Amino acid sequence: MKDDPAKRFFRKAREDVAAFFGAPETDQTRSAAYRIAYDDLDFMLRDELRPVRLQLELLKPEILMEEHHVDSTIVLFGGARIRPPEEAAQAPTPEMAAMSKYYEEARQFARMMTERSLERSGGRHDIIVTGGGPGVMEAGNRGAADAGGKSIGLNIVLPHEQAPNKYVTPELCFNFHYFGIRKMHFLMRARAIAIFPGGFGTMDELFEALTLIQTGRMEQVPFLLFGREFWKTVINFEELARVGTISREDLDLFRVVETAQEAVAAIDSWQSVGNRRGAVPER
């Protein structure tokens, strides 16, 4: 929110922080107790301040995305270990080398969606968002950059910390401590979700998003799984429906695709399960 001098009645917080450093050097002013609370890092990192830190992690990306006119997003999830085609020969196994095709499909899909975003909304809608790291995440941000558009990276602090990939728009490159808040930002603006082959993290995001949609906690959006053979092999969705742990209609919550072109066509022709059932239509 921009500052309006005509509506200012009190000193700004930044001004008081600056004034602190001009105070006389005494035992009292040197004490940590004297520091303004929000400018005291040791205080802000106390366990008792966890609720405040959770709120800050929710607010900071929210405010900055609003300032950069991010009205809706296209979410890309997928494996960090999938290499670009030019690096496929360095993969540890032939199977991982073959996965490089999904890097290229993610890049093309992100490029196509970003081109449409720029044409239809000036880059305000359907902005690519990834986890900001390597592999499929890099491919998504790279595709958006290929199209000349912006993209978002939602990084997370991990023991094996990796730097954000170089294709994320710097002003939209965020870092999180709390997984839960990061997950919220992935889905709060999502107008479509694309899941590429990946590991535990990808599976976590896949089932969490599907559960939110299945239970009606999240609006139904186009939900795409890239790679027919991969998903057929690693998850037996048909068996879940056969034994009754999910309903057969739940299989319609997502669609399996192979290429970027097929994915875009699926988004354009998407019809929610709710509409098929005669339930409340999409907003």
Q: Judge whether residue 115 has pLDDT over 50.
A: yes
Q: Judge whether residue 19 has pLDDT over 90.
A: no
Find, among 263, 233, 262, 237, the residue nearest to 250 by Cα.
Answer: 237
pLDDT of 24: 80
H helix runs in the chain, sequence order: 13-20, 27-30, 41-44, 50-67, 94-98, 100-121, 136-146, 179-187, 200-214, 228-234, 237-243, 260-268, 273-277
Q: Judge whether residue 14 has pLDDT over 70.
A: yes
CA distances from 246 to 50, 212, 273 (A): 36, 14, 14
Q: Judge whether residue 108 has pLDDT over 60.
A: yes
Find, among 140, 147, 138, the residue nearest to 165 by Cα.
Answer: 138
Does domain 47-277 fall under CATH 3.40.50.450? My reply is yes
DSSP state of 61: H
Q: What is the DSSP string of 184-207?
A: HHHHTTEEEEEE-S-SHHHHHHHH
In whole angstroms, what is the distance from residue 89 CA to residue 85 CA? 8
Q: Judge whether residue 218 has pLDDT over 50.
A: yes
Beta bridge pairs of residue 152: 129
- Is the Cα dihedral 78, 139, 123, 57 positive or negative? positive
In percent, the amount of the chain with pLDDT more than 90 equals: 80
Domain ranges in the chain are: 47-277
Task: Enumerate residues 6+ apart whose C-beta is below 8 A from 282.
Answer: 219, 220, 272, 274, 275
Band (pLDDT 50/70/90 cuts) for residue 2 is low
Band (pLDDT 50/70/90 cuts) for residue 281 is very low
Mean pLDDT of 7-19: 66
Mean pLDDT of 69-91: 96
Q: Which of 37-41, 48-52, 242-246 is least confident?
A: 37-41
User: What letter represents residue 265's amino acid?
Assistant: A
Q: Judge whether residue 282 has pLDDT over 50.
A: no
Beta bridge pairs of residue 237: none
In whole angstroms, what is the distance from residue 178 CA to residue 248 CA? 34
Q: If you search the block for the tokens 């900001």, which residue do you land on?
A: 132
Task: Enumerate residues 6+ apart whose C-beta is below 8 A from 61.
Answer: 154, 174, 185
Chain mean pLDDT for the chain: 91
